[in-house]
Structure formats: C-alpha cells, structure tokens
C-alpha cells in the first residue's frame, strides 16, 4: 500500500439523505398474516415489498407478498422462481407496482440479510429493507426501514452498512375503515350510518368540551397561556362564515327541505313498488 | 365385530345425507377488508372483481384471504390467460399456507347498482362447483361519506331452483310466494383479526381523538352524491316502465288471441251443426296447426325483479344519507346559535 496518502473511511451519505419510506397498513396486515401462517420450522418470514417511488424521492410501499425460504446457520436460500411468478401475477393486476425492497420479521438485521439484500439490489437499484418485530421484544412492535450504504476505504469496498431511514406509517386507510373494527379480535357487526354518526358526534362534543375547559383554565390563570394555541383557536372560531341569522336560517331550512323532499320521494317510490308488485303477480288471465 | 345398537354401520353413515346448516354469518378478516378497499379504490370508477378464499365451517363462512383479478378485455385468448392466472395465484398462495379454498368473489359497484343478470349467472356458475359461496359488494363512492359500505350477498335457494328450471311465469312465482325481495339474501358480516395484528393495530392507533373517518362523516356537502343517486333512480324508473309496457303488451296480445280463439271455436261449432244436419262427420273442435292457437311465451320477470331491487336499494341509500344530513344540519344550527 502506498505510504503517505491518508485513506479515510468514507460514508457515502448523500444519496440517502432525503430518502424516506411510507408504509400502508395493508403491508403490515400482510406481513402479520404471513408470519402467523409460516411453516413450523421457520423462525422468520421473508418477502418482497411492492410499491412505487414518488417524484420527490419517497418510497411508497403499498403491497407485499411472502416468499418461501430456507435458512440455516451458514446460508439462506430464497425461492427465486416463486418470487418471479408472484411478481408477474401481481403486475397483471397492477402494472404500476414494482419491487421496492424486501421485508423480514424479527428485530435486528442479521448476517443472512446482507445476502438477501444483495439479491434484491440486483433487481432494484436501491432496495429498502423493512423489519417488523413480531416478537415484541422491546415491549412494542418496532417497524424499521433500512437502506444499504456502501462503506469504502479509499477505492476498495469494505462492507455494506444498513442505515436506518425515517419511516412514515400512513394509517389513513385504516382510520377510514375504523380502528374499532381492525383492533379487536372479533367485531360483531359493521356499524351502520347512524351509529357511526353518533360516535363521531360524541367525539366532536368531547373535543369542544376540552377546548372549553382549556380556555376557562387560561382565563382563570390556572394554566399558562400558550399564544400559538390561542391564535389557533381564534382562527378556528373566525373561520365560521359570518351570516346574519335570517340568512343562516334560510340556508339551513332550504337544505332541510331538500332532504325532506328526497325522503318523501323515496318513500313514495317504495310504496309504488309494493303496489306494482302486487298487481303484476296477482293479475291472472281468467 | 357385532355392531352395538348405538353404533351405526359404515353403510348407514354413508347413506345418510349431510344436513347443510343454513349460512348465518360471514366472518371476514381485517386483511381481506383492507385488500378489497385498496383494489376497488385504486381502479374506481372502473368496476373490478376478485376472488375470495377461506373456509366453510358449519354455519359460518370464514373468508381469510383474497386476490384481485386483472381487468379482462373482451378477447377469446385472454380467457385462457385468466384461468391460468387464477391457478397460478392459488398455487403460489398454497405454498405459503394460505387457505386454498374458493368461497366466493367480490366486486365493486357504483352507488349500489349491482343487481344485474350477470351477477345471477356468476352465482349459478359458482354454485355448481362450490356448495356455499358468497358475493361481497363494496361501494367506494358511499365509503367516501364515512360509512363502510360492505355487503355480503347470496342468492336465496327458492330463487335458484326457479332459475334453474328457467320458468318465471306469474303462476310459478305465485305458487312459491316469491317476490322481488326474495332474490338476494343479505348475510350479516363479522370481522375477526388475529391476535398479532390486533396488537400491532392497538399500538399504531393514532392518539388523536378524531380520525379521518370522522372528517368524512362531518362533511356538509352531500349534494353531489344525492344528485347522482337521483339520476340513477330516474333511469331505473324508465327501465321499469319499459318492462311494465312489455307486460301490458303481452297481456293485450294474450287477450286478443283468446278472443280470436273464441270466434274460431264458434265458427267450428256452427260448421259442425251444419254438418250434423247434413249427416257428415263433425270436424274436431281443436286445430293445433292454426297459428291462433300457438301459446304466446310470457316475458321473463327476472329483469323487472332486478330493477325493482335496484330501485329499493337506491331508496334505502337516499334514506341513509338523508338521515345523516339531518344530523349534520341540526348540529350546525345549534353551533351557530351558540
């Protein structure tokens, strides 16, 4: 080795500086389901992540599927043909979803993971590795995402380092369905419109109560005033459109009348249907 | 070995038929719901379908997984492709220990307009191979209002028998006392989740007291949705009136034919009397070759039943949304007063 040049261990961080990953709740459901169904001798589940890369560089992970693999102390073997078959099938339905990485259950990154990561980096330039801790080892289910960064010494490649990237769990879809349904082990029935409305209104009421209490506390000096919150509250209250009471009443009454009219129309239609039914089947040619 | 009085011989057991307990509940996993929602939403407003996999246990039909179907073009070659895709998916899923049993299919719909003859045909196709199958309908446009519009449907047994016999005359229907409500049976849905996923969801649940679902529900503008509903309703009424006109036409032609038959019969009788007076043999009083004796086929009532079903569905939806709107309007009113 030539003396004199100081060789520095380089971490190439520029490419990963802005990389973040977004995970949809379906992926987590998929992973958990595959983990629960894994064959008895396997300790963890490995699979492919599908999604797309958004224009601002974030990796959007939308779907996943498990890939059967065999693992021993020294080596890991992945069923590549299965992986390709599933990929082709999935792309028939949604050609926009491409491979963006792979996942494995378990807390940390193990030695075998580097090999698998190598395999995936042949398919995709910069695969994301997602780990989902199904064992709840830290007392909570940690979900982490990594990318591989090359450590090079001068011109030589030393090793690859798994660097963690920020992960964004977009639970919006799960919220839409309702956490009550997804959280419990058995929900007896899906909520109807009016029941859902009731729940929402209760939540709104609770929020309004909280704000009321907070404002009261601040006014009486029990709680230190936070200017930003105060400004926020005043903005919200000011967002109510300023209508004179008669104009507002007219607006509300008009909408009420529209809805009542529709309700009346639908009741008439149903009555008509009942009558038509009786006439049609009861009529006989004598 | 002498069989005791309580034990039954193998032959006896094989001879007794299994009593099929009626389907009472469809148990879906949260995973399936999310998958269906994702698939339907991505391709809306196009209508998509997919296959349901699961187990048939007693009076509960468990749906544990599903996979989507690619959008099929109208081409003969692609038919074989579609079957291949299905086999491939089922084989791959079997390797990861997913239940390999088809229990039905799901499809998306717009504003609840799913009652078509194709649905019935698909049901009959599935019913030939599987003892119990169910169809899950998801409505993405309604779910934007904050309601999870998921329904599990099954054809009622009496309707299936009639359909197989392909006889939908008024008499048969009156015999079986079948009306348009009896075509589809809606089965209540139960949701179940594994313990692992329930632990994850409990942890990942956001701490905010208000969720996206609530924002959707409290939206004040339901007018576009109602307008579309009314448009569909009006179109359906047009269709229904067309069907009724067909019936009227049929009745009119039937009565005309009967009148014609009567006059012909009278003429024959007069002729016969004249012949008897002349001593010749009387002619038969029936003439099957005469076209006025040809029976006129009665138009099938399936279409009108389906349309009636659809109209009822729209009316129900309007009622539901109107109820929600009332709540919101009164809420707004009281907030403003304060």
CB A78 within 8 A of CB A117: no
Residue B134 to residue B132: CA distance in whole angstroms: 7
pLDDT of residue A234: 84
* ipTM exceeding cut-off 0.85 for this assembly: no
Beta carbons of B31 and A29 less than 8 Å apart: yes
Instruction: Test B193 with A262 for CB contact under 8 angstroms.
Output: no
Range of lowest pLDDT (A40-54, A266-280, B68-82): B68-82
**What pLDDT, on the 0 to 100 scale, is given for residue B8?**
61
Distance from CA of B130 to the nearest CA of A (A): 24
Across chain B, what does the average pLDDT equal? 78
Residue A195: strand, helix, or coil: helix
Matching residue, tokens 């307990």:
B21
Confidence check: pLDDT of B215 > 80:
no
Q: How far is B203 from chain A (nearest CA, A)?
A: 8
Nearest beta carbon to residue A207 from set B209, B301, B304:
B209
Question: Using the beta-carbon criterion (under 8 Å), do B315 and A179 form an inter-chain contact?
Answer: no
**Cβ separation of A266 and B314 shorter than 8 Å?**
yes
Long-range contacts of A72-80 (CB under 8 A, 24+ apart): A75/A112, A75/A115, A76/A112, A76/A115, A76/A116, A78/A46, A78/A116, A78/A119, A80/A119
In this predicted structure, what is the pLDDT of residue A137? 66
List pLDDT tens digits, range B292-320. Answer: 677 777 777 777 778 888 888 888 888 88
Quick one: average pLDDT of A230-253?
Answer: 81
> Beta-strand (E) ranges in A39-185?
46-53, 59-67, 69-71, 76-78, 98-105, 128-132, 143-153, 156-165, 167-169
Quick one: average pLDDT of B60-68?
A: 87
A4 has a pLDDT exceeding 60: no
Does the structure show a pLDDT above 50 at A286? no
- In this prediction, residue B312 carries a pLDDT of 83
Which residues on B lie below 8 Å from A206 (Cβ)?
209
> Which one, of B89, B84, B143, lies nearest residue B112 by Cα?
B143
Size of interface A-B (CB pairs under 8 A): 238
Q: What are the pLDDT digits (tens) for B238-281? A: 888 888 888 888 888 888 888 888 888 888 888 888 888 887 77
* Mutation site for B-interface testing, chosen from A193, A247, A258, A260 by largest number of B Cβ within 10 Å: A193
Which among A26, A203, A256 has CB closest to B210? A203
As a whole number of angstroms, the distance between CA B123 and CA B71 comes to 19
B interface test, pick of A136, A206, A281 with most B CB neighbours within 10 Å: A281
Does the distance separating the beta carbons of B214 and A32 come in below 8 Å? no
Rounded to the nearest angstrom, the minimum Cα separation between B99 and chain A is: 10
Instruction: Residue B187: count other Cβ atoms within 10 Å of its Cβ.
Output: 18
Closest residue of chain A to B330, computed from CA coordinates? A252
Spatial CB neighbours of A216, under 8 Å, sequence gap ≥ 6:
none
What pLDDT score was predicted for residue B317? 82
Q: Residue A96 phi/psi, 5° resolution? A: -80, -15
Which pTM does this prediction carry? 0.80
How far is it between the farthest Cα atoms of chain A? 115
C-alpha span between A185 and B148 (Å, rounded): 18
Query: Which positions in chain A touch B255 (Cβ < 8 Å)?
Result: 285
Q: Using the beta-carbon criterion (under 8 Å), do B206 and A175 form an inter-chain contact?
A: yes
Binned at pLDDT 50, 70 and 90, residue A1 comes out as: very low
Nearest to B103 by CA among B80, B126, B119, B81: B126
What's chain A's Rg over C-alpha atoms? 29
């Amino acid at each position: 080795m030539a003396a004199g040049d100081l060789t520095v261990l380089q971490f190439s961080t520029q490419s990963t500086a802005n990389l973040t990953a977004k995970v949809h709740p379906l992926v987590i459901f998929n992973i958990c389901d595959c983990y629960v169904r894994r064959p008895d001798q396997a300790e963890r589940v490995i699979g492919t992540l599908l999604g797309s890369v958004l224009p601002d560089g974030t990796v959007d992970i939308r779907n996943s599927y498990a890939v059967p693999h065999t693992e021993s102390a020294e080596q890991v073997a992945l069923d590549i043909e299965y992986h390709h078959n599933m990929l082709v099938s999935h792309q028939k339905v949604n050609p926009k979803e491409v491979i963006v990485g792979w996942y494995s259950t378990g807390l940390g990154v193990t030695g075998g993971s580097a090999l698998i990561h190598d395999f995936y980096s042949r398919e995709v330039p910069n695969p994301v590795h997602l780990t989902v801790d199904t064992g709840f080892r830290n007392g909570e289910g940690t979900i982490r995402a990594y990318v591989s960064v090359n450590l090079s010494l001068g011109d030589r490649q030393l090793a690859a380092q798994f660097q963690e990237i920020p992960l964004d769990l977009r639970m919006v879809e799960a919220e839409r369905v309702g956490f009550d349904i997804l959280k419990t082990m058995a929900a007896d029935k899906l909520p109807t419109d009016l029941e859902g409305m009731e729940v929402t209104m209760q939540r709104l009421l609770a929020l309004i109560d909280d704000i009321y209490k907070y404002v009261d506390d601040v006014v009486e000096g029990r709680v230190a005033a936070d200017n930003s919150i105060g400004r926020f509250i005043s903005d919200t209250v000011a967002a109510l459109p300023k209508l004179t009471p008669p104009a507002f009443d007219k607006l509300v009454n008009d909408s009420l009348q529209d809805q009542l009219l529709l309700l009346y129309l639908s009741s008439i239609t149903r009555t008509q249907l009942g009558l038509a039914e009786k006439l049609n089947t009861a009529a006989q040619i004598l | 070995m002498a069989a005791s009085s309580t034990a039954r011989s193998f032959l006896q057991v094989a001879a007794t038929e299994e009593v099929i307990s009626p389907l009472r509940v469809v148990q879906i996993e949260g995973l399936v719901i999310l998958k269906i929602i994702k698939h339907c939403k991505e391709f809306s407003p196009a209508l998509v379908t997919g296959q349901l996999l699961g187990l048939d246990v007693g009076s509960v039909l468990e749906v544990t997984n599903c996979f989507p179907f690619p959008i099929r073009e109208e081409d003969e070659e692609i038919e074989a492709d579609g079957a291949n895709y299905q086999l491939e998916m089922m084989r791959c899923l079997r390797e990861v220990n997913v239940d390999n049993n088809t229990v039905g299919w799901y499809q998306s719909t717009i504003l609840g307009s799913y009652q078509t003859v194709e649905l019935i045909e698909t049901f009959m196709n599935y019913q030939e191979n599987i003892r119990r199958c169910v169809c899950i309908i998801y409505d993405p446009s309604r779910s934007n209002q904050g309601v999870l519009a998921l329904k599990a449907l099954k054809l009622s047994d009496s309707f299936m028998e009639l359909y197989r016999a392909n006889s939908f005359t008024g008499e048969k229907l009156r015999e079986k006392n079948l009306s348009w409500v009896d075509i589809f049976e809606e089965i209540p849905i139960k949701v179940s989740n594994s313990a692992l996923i329930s632990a994850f969801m409990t942890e990942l649940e956001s701490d905010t007291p208000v969720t996206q679902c609530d924002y959707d529900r409290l939206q004040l503008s339901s007018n576009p949705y109602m307008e579309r509903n009314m448009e569909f309703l009006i179109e359906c009424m047009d269709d229904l009136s067309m069907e009724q006109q067909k019936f009227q036409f049929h009745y009119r032609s039937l009565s005309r034919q009967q009148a014609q038959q009567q006059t012909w019969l009278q003429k024959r009788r007069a002729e016969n009397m004249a012949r008897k007076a002349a001593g010749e043999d009387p002619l038969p009083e029936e003439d099957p070759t005469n076209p006025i004796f040809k029976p006129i086929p009665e138009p099938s009532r399936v279409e009108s039943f389906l349309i009636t079903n659809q109209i009822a569905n729209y009316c129900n939806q309007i009622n539901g949304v109107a109820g929600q709107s009332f709540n919101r309007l009164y809420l707004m009113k009281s907030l403003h007063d304060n």
